[in-house]
């Protein structure tokens, strides 16, 4: 049963960097992972790419051939991919049934909020057995301005309603948030999206002309009650691990034992049923479905790490890295001495 993430978000929100970070994390954890680049304008792909849309179509060719601009060209590329869905399907099949796949989407927001092609492709994938979640990255910089935050809320809601997938919204680059000055509220206010009426003062100060419109959008977002955010600093291991757990829950991956998992002792094996179709009797996975625990799983920890005590935490982390480096050097030195000793003996 293949699982996957549809990674979307505006240009520069950190989609490709996130895919690369997730590839490194999963490889270190010994979990399978493959990345499919669906952005035909992605020329500097940082990660190893299992499938690349550029081998089907490139934005440059489309723009030259059809006289389209970059946005129209991008829509054409997605429509072309939809029409040639079997190209994608054949290549995905080669990755196997237990693959975990990240789809790195182009940044044009209309693709995940209005245009039908990405939605149709995603639905075809779901029909063919993929368990997908949309991971929508929004640059955390937007929460520093109330009006921009309202636009992010609307964008997130629109993508949720359009793609119709389990959805995880993420404030990316949270490690940079302190650079943009003091926030009007704690991070929790922005991630929980509980009572947006508090934005009224900030909205009348920053954009008085559009205050009523902004407040109407806020009340619409509240009425749906769907939008909330996780946070991400891609180089922070704890942050990546927490987000991975949230996504595993959203896709349902957490409820499926890994393919090589043996039947736990004391349970009766359902003979002839493949591992991925058996009910999950592994305590580890069931407990993983409970409330999240651990560092950075509470937004107040994230606030402390990146806003309230960033300098102290940075210094502490640097000291830990230094210690780790010294330990590695020391271990290498000792093993060299041991090797030399063994050679002298023989």
By CB under 6 A, is residue 169 in contact with ligand GDP?
A: no
- By CB under 5 A, what part of segment 35-94 binds Mg ion? 42
By CB under 6 A, is residue 54 in contact with ligand GDP?
A: no
- By CB under 6 A, what part of segment 225-264 binds ligand GDP? 232-234
Sign of CA dihedral 314, 320, 322, 324: negative
- By CB under 6 A, what part of segment 125-154 binds ligand GDP? none
By CB under 5 A, is residue 16 in contact with Mg ion?
A: yes
Residue 306 Cβ vs ligand GDP, minimum distance, rounded to whole Å? 10
CA 244 centroid distance within chain: 8
Residue 138 Cβ vs Mg ion, minimum distance, rounded to whole Å? 15
Residue 128 Cβ vs Mg ion, minimum distance, rounded to whole Å? 25
* Closest residue to ligand GDP: CB criterion: 14
Residue 79 Cβ vs ligand GDP, minimum distance, rounded to whole Å? 21
* CA atoms of 15 and 6, how far apart (whole Å): 10
Region from 11-19, 54-62, 193-201, 304-312 binding ligand GDP, contact rule CB under 6 A: 11-19
Q: Which does 337 bind (CB under 5 to 8 A by kind): ligand GDP, Mg ion, none?
A: none
Region from 7-15, 189-197, 243-251, 262-270 binding ligand GDP, contact rule CB under 6 A: 7-15
Residue 58 Cβ vs ligand GDP, minimum distance, rounded to whole Å? 17
Please give the span between the terminal C-alpha atoms of the chain, in angstroms, as a whole number.
Answer: 54
- By CB under 5 A, what part of segment 295-324 binds Mg ion? none
Q: What is the 3-state secondary structure (H, E, C) of the chain?
A: CCEEEEEEECCCCCHHHHHHHHHHHHHHCCCCCEEEECCCCCCCCCCCCCEEHHHCCCHHHHHHHHCCCHHHHHHHHHHHHHHCHHHHHHHHHHCCCCCEEEEECCCCCHHHHCCHHHHHHHHHHHHCCCEEEEEEEEEHHHHHCHHHHHHHHHHHHHHHHHHCCCEEEEEECHHHHHHHCCCCCCHHHHHHCCCHHHHHHHHHHHCHHHHHHHHHHHHHHHHHCCCCCEECCCCCHHHHHHHHHHHHHHHCHHHCCCCCCCCCCCCCCCCCCCHHHCCCCCHHHHHHCCCCCCCCCCHHHHHHHHHHCHHHHHHHHHHHHHHHHHHHHHHHHHHHHHHHHHHHHC
Region from 8-16, 63-71, 93-101, 174-182 binding Mg ion, contact rule CB under 5 A: 8-16
Residue 107 Cβ vs ligand GDP, minimum distance, rounded to whole Å? 5
* Closest residue to Mg ion: CB criterion: 16
Query: Cβ of 333: how many Cβ atoms within 10 Å?
Result: 10
By beta-carbon proximity to ligand GDP, the closer residue of 137 and 221 is 137
| Given 3, 6, 8, 14, the residue binding ligand GDP (CB under 6 A) | 14
By CB under 6 A, is residue 16 in contact with ligand GDP?
A: yes
| Given 13, 37, 214, 280, the residue binding ligand GDP (CB under 6 A) | 13
Residue 112 Cβ vs ligand GDP, minimum distance, rounded to whole Å? 12
Of the candidates 105, 108, 116, 35, which has an alpha carbon nearest to the alpha carbon of residue 83? 116
| Given 83, 176, 328, 332, the residue binding ligand GDP (CB under 6 A) | 176
By CB under 6 A, is residue 172 in contact with ligand GDP?
A: yes
By beta-carbon proximity to ligand GDP, the closer residue of 156 and 196 is 156
Residue showing tokens 């008085």: 208
Note the residues at the interface with ligand GDP (CB under 6 A). Answer: 9, 11-17, 107, 172-173, 175-176, 232-234
Note the residues at the interface with Mg ion (CB under 5 A). Answer: 15-16, 42
């Amino acid at each position: 049963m293949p699982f996957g993430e549809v990674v979307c978000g505006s240009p520069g929100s950190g989609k490709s960097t996130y895919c690369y970070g997730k590839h490194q994390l999963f490889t270190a954890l010994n979990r399978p992972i493959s990345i499919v680049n669906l952005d035909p304008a992605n020329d500097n792909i940082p990660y190893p790419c299992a499938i690349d849309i550029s081998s089907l179509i490139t934005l440059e060719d489309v723009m030259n051939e059809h006289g389209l601009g970059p946005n129209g060209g991008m829509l054409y590329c997605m429509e072309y991919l939809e029409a040639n869905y079997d190209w994608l399907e054949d290549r995905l099949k080669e990755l196997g049934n237990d693959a975990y796949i990240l789809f790195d989407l182009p940044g044009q927001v209309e693709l995940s909020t209005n245009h039908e092609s990405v939605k149709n492709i995603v639905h075809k994938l779901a029909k063919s057995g993929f368990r997908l979640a949309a991971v929508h990255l929004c640059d955390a910089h937007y929460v520093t301005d109330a009006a921009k935050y309202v636009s992010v809320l609307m964008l997130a809601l629109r993508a949720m309603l359009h793609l119709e997938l389990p959805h995880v919204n993420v404030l990316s680059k949270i490690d940079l948030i302190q650079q943009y000055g003091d926030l009007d509220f704690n991070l929790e206010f922005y991630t929980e999206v509980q009572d947006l009426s508090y934005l009224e003062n900030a909205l009348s100060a920053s954009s008085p002309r559009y205050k009523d419109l902004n407040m109407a959008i806020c009340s619409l977002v509240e009425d749906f009650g769907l939008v909330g955010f996780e946070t991400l600093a891609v180089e922070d291991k704890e942050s990546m691990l927490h987000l991975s757990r949230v996504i595993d829950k959203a896709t349902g991956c957490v409820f499926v034992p890994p393919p090589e998992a043996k039947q736990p002792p004391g349970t009766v094996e359902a003979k002839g049923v493949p591992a991925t179709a058996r009910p999950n009797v592994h305590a580890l996975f069931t407990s993983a479905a409970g409330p999240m625990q651990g560092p950075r799983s509470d937004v107040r920890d994230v606030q402390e790490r990146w806003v309230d005590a960033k300098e102290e935490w940075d210094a502490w982390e640097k000291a830990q890295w230094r210690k780790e480096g010294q330990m590695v050097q020391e271990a290498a030195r000792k093993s060299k001495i041991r090797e030399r000793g063994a050679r002298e003996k023989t």
